Amino acid sequence: MIDLECRSCGFKFRKEKIPPRCPYCSKEGSVGLLKTAQDFLNETFGEFGAMDEERKRRS
C-alpha cells in the first residue's frame, strides 16, 4: 500500500497503485504520492545547500 494525495482537493488515501483520478473529487491526473516530513526536510535543506554553494562560489 502506498500513501497518496489528491493535489486538487487534498484528499489523502492508501491504494496498491496510483489511480488515474481522485476517488473523492474525480479530478483526473491529480493524484500523486503523499509527501512525508522527510521529503519536506530534504527539499528545505537541498535549497539551503544550493544557497551555500552559491555563496562559496561568489566569495
Could you tell me which residues come within 8 angstroms of residue 3 by beta carbon, excluding any fewer than 6 positions away? 12, 13, 14, 33, 34, 36
Q: How many CB atoms lie within 10 A of CB 11?
A: 16
How many independent structural domains does the chain possess?
1
E-state strands within 1-59:
2-6, 12-15, 31-33
pLDDT of residue 44: 82
Does pTM surpass 0.85? no
pLDDT band at 59 (very low <50, low <70, confident <90, very high): low
The position carrying cell 489523502 is: 12
Structural domain harbouring 10: 2-58
Residue range 1-58, pLDDT digits in tens: 999 999 999 999 999 999 999 999 999 999 999 988 888 888 887 766 666 666 677 7
CATH number, residue 39:
2.20.28
CA distance 42 to 56: 21
pLDDT of residue 26: 97
